[in-house]
Structure 1
Amino acid sequence: MRPPTLAIPHTVVRTFALSLVLLLSVSGVTKTEAADASANRPNIVFIIADDCTFRDIGCYGGQAHTPNIDQLAQSGMKFNRCFQAAPMCSPTRHNLYTGLYPVKSGAYPNHTFAADGTQSIVHYLKPLGYRVALSGKTHIGPQQVFPFEYIGKKNPDMKQIDKLFSECRDSETPFCLFACSNEPHSPWNMGDASQYPPAKIKLPPYIVDTPQVREDFSDYLAEVTYFDDQVGQILQLLDKHQFSDNTLVMVVSEQGNAFPFAKWTCYGNGLQSAMIVRWPGKVQPGTVTDAMVEYVDVTPTFIAAAGAAPQPDLDGKSFIPVLAGETDQHKSFSYGIMTTRGIINGSDAYAIRTVRGQQYRLIWNLNHETKFTNACTQAPYFQSMVEAAKAGDSNAKELVNRYYYRPELELYDCNADPLEMNNLAENPEYASVIKELKSNLDQWMASQGDEGIETEYDAILHQHAYKGMTREQARKAWETKNSKKGKQQGGNGKKRKANKSAGE
């Protein structure tokens, strides 16, 4: 966590700017050349979906119609190995804007907030002369950590974005815009679902095939296309104001969708993200990279793109060299954390941690003897899977049980098994792989101040309902509020057998 910075008076900023111009003139750089350098600083547009599995996007092999995103990929660079550090909306957005992993910033449960004194992308770019705006979904706090210009709620406001672009063009001011969609987050009620007849869509093999699932998945795909249209509108506004040639555009898909084995889990479908970057003159069109990057790298990358020095106390690091085509390597490992404490219909405490290397993913379910629940397990589509299991569908029974109950360790060969369905953890041939990855994960957790189960229990201290309470006060309030509810859900921390039937 970074200490808060002191606000610099505008008079000091102006004095410094004039001194810098004078210095540049003395050194042979004219005032005009200095102004040109400032004018050449790139604008930045970051567009993020909400609960979109990257595999469902057209250019990633998905069945959703996404012509705007697909065309952007042809004009820029597509990342095959981009990951975020938490498979829920709020911690994902906090680690994006701060460049810090969730536990370090304090923002690791859902509906969370960053610790006081944490700095965000606004603090880094605004002193460089940028207008830093956010239009659409927020789910971040407190405001002093994220002092964006907020222009529009829930979804990107195209009129406000148009106005921002116009003002920045007239004032010759660089901008960094975060356009944050609310799609395809449930309820899936946007877009044209007639493009996706339920009987014809393809379901991933880790989801039980029921009529309810097909109907909901059709509506979900329609919202992916709706998000693609939002991307297209923003790109058109850049063209309208003649900003396209000097704007770094980055589009990402956030965590996976709300169906099983995606959002709320540390599988690849929960943590992996689409990332496409267009930056004319910097990024070669139509390129693809296997460089491993994380959402915590986005803020450092934007800082570097703006021409500022790296921030050494951030967890992320700039991947400008990847964008420039100078390397196809960035990181050797990516990390993830999931906490159910305090989420809707969540298990009382089901801590999950993961590390993914170039080939293997290790998942550590720290409280694996409890039942895993979340908002997904309450949803009609999941309940239709449970009913299919009760009716004797063996595949449904296996998948539902696998979602509810996990072993302590899971190991997947992400190259041979990209959907992560074949757990290798009990195979003695992989003992050395597990040992190496577990050691790496332990070191990362220690570097973050992550104490595993204790950190899981303390998650409520980082949610607004318990803000300002001591650990003892928060835990007592939690136990009082959730004792009956926890017993009903089977997620109250008591040991349970892993072979319970799906229809219990």
Structure 2
Amino acid sequence: MWTAFPVLSAENSATSRPNILFIMADDCTYSEIGCFGGQNAKTPNIDKLADEGLIFNRAYVSMAMCVPARHELYTGLYPMESGCAWNHGRSKPGTKSIFHYLTDLGYRVGISGKKHASPKEVFPYINVPGFEENCVLANEEKEDITGIKRFMEEKNDEPFCLFVCSTSPHAPWTLGDASAYPPAELKLPAHLGDTPEVREAYSRYLAEVTYFDRQVGEVLKTLEETGNANNTVVMLSTEQGWQFSGGKWTNWDLGVHTGLIAKWPGKIKPGSETGALVQFADITPTFVDVAGGEEVPAVSGKSFLDVLLGKNEKHRKYVYCMHNNVPEGKPYPIRAVISSEYHYISNLLPDSIYFEKHLEAGAHGEVWWERWKEKANTSTREKYLVERFYHRPAEEFYAVETDKEQFDNLAGNPIFERELEKHQNALDAWMKTQNDPGVPVDTESEYEKRYWEN
């Protein structure tokens, strides 16, 4: 149940409370960013932000899909609790979000750019013009910072919370300067098949990552120009992973791991890093904590303010993830739990072949997946990657530090039996708290029922 927050006293008025600026990419694999080890993309603005703030090396989304991830971010709830456990889903009527919590604390709370947040009663945001909302436009116009600047400057007696949500590098990959990334010179990540078509598509993807980085620079420059930089908590997220196979729409690290950076002048130590486990559900209660509000009742997440301030090196014991493939493809429910040492995945229909409609249809005219599959007929490496994508075992268990590519499945290895069981139990317990029956949730009928109910 949601409870209104008390009115703040004069000494806790707007001037003493920080503004909040959250900048988010769209389908940006965290490991492409320079400060997270990226070897290709030029991301000077994001890397500078990391140098001035705190890098979260272990931050996650519960679902590697745009809509559920954003609902988790704004509500502080896991997908089954908000009601948005499918892509293009909606949160349950009566659900409260960051837009309620911070408004009650005297903040102006807005979004510029991609929304994917409905119904309006759950997300009563101020619409701030400037960034494109449609993530699948091929010829997107350059952002206009005027609206963001106005939002930052108006009503100086009230602090602001602004979510700037880019549509880059969501497919189609048409923005930025792909000529800066000659395909033959790229260092292909281990998860990508090596064909001319893959390299060409990857070049365009990297160009959009750099396009997003430029946008980050423009927004941060505006924050400086409006005189708000020293009293603003800035947080940046890369959202979920790319639309290449094995990223978005999976529970693999490449999909659910988000690149998270925070800067707070005078509060966060510049150039610092943390291995604390956090996830999107923790961000809303953290922002309420930053704003001086009381603990938010009845949310899944919990504040990691102590991690931001360097008072604690740990936050969670486990991070929880899930995937419902409907309506993006045939049923293929996945659940996962991640600890500081291991990443456990339970594929609930392991005898099924994974199918995702955008990939198989060659959305936006892409042919790289077809060429990749053709090469798999003659190449062991490409065949392994294709088979890994389509045919998955009932259980996957990976060592986080020593197997970042997640190619060495430890499930079935007796040496890791005890640790595997711990993670199985943790996942089972979490699913029970979520009233998540698993397989029955990932069906067309259930999706339709939940969607229209919400």
Smaller-chain TM-score bracket:
over 0.9
Aligned-residue offset at 1:254: 0.4
The one of 320, 323, 335 aligned to 1:353: 335
Per mean C-alpha deviation after superposition, the further-off stretch among 157-166 and 84-93 is 157-166
Q: SS at the partner of 1:276?
A: strand
Structure 2 residue ranges without an equivalent (≥5)? 135-142
Aligned-residue offset at 1:163: 1.2
Give the Cα–Cα distance (whole angstroms) in 1 for the partners of residues 57 and 341 of structure 2: 13
Map 1:44-443; keep pairs closer than 5 Å.
Answer: 44-62=20-38, 63-152=40-129, 153-154=132-133, 157-169=144-156, 172-343=157-328, 346-347=329-330, 349-374=331-356, 375-379=358-362, 380-390=367-377, 392-443=378-429
8 Å CA contact 1:263–1:270 kept in 2: the answer is yes
Aligned-residue offset at 1:236: 0.7
TM-score where L is the length of structure 1: 0.84
Per mean C-alpha deviation after superposition, the further-off stretch among 180-189 and 147-156 is 147-156
Give the Cα–Cα distance (whole angstroms) in 1 for the partners of residues 151 and 218 of structure 2: 14
Q: Which has the higher contact order (CA 8 A, sep 6+)?
A: 2
Aligned-residue offset at 1:331: 0.6
Aligned residue pairs, count: 437
Q: SS at the partner of 2:277?
A: strand
Per mean C-alpha deviation after superposition, the further-off stretch among 311-320 and 42-51 is 311-320
Aligned-residue offset at 1:377: 3.4
Give the Cα–Cα distance (whole angstroms) in 2 for the partners of residues 109 and 425 of structure 1: 28
TM-score where L is the length of structure 2: 0.93
Give the Cα–Cα distance (whole angstroms) in 2 for the partners of residues 83 and 187 of structure 1: 24
Aligned-residue offset at 1:37: 4.1
8 Å CA contact 1:341–1:459 kept in 2: the answer is no
Structure 2 residue aligned with 1:460? 447
Please tell me the residue identity of whatever aligns with 2:25: A
Quote the sequence identity (%): 43
Aligned-residue offset at 1:421: 1.1
Aligned-residue offset at 1:38: 3.1
Which structure has greater helix proportion? 1
Q: SS at the partner of 1:199?
A: helix
8 Å CA contact 1:301–1:319 kept in 2: the answer is yes
Map 1:425-504; keep pairs closer than 5 Å.
Answer: 425-457=411-443, 459-461=446-448, 464=451, 467-468=452-453
Give the Cα–Cα distance (whole angstroms) in 2 for the partners of residues 421 and 36 of structure 1: 51
Aligned-residue offset at 1:288: 0.7
Q: Which entry has the higher C-alpha Rg, 1 or 2? A: 1
**What RMSD in Å do the two structures reach over aligned CA positions?**
1.8
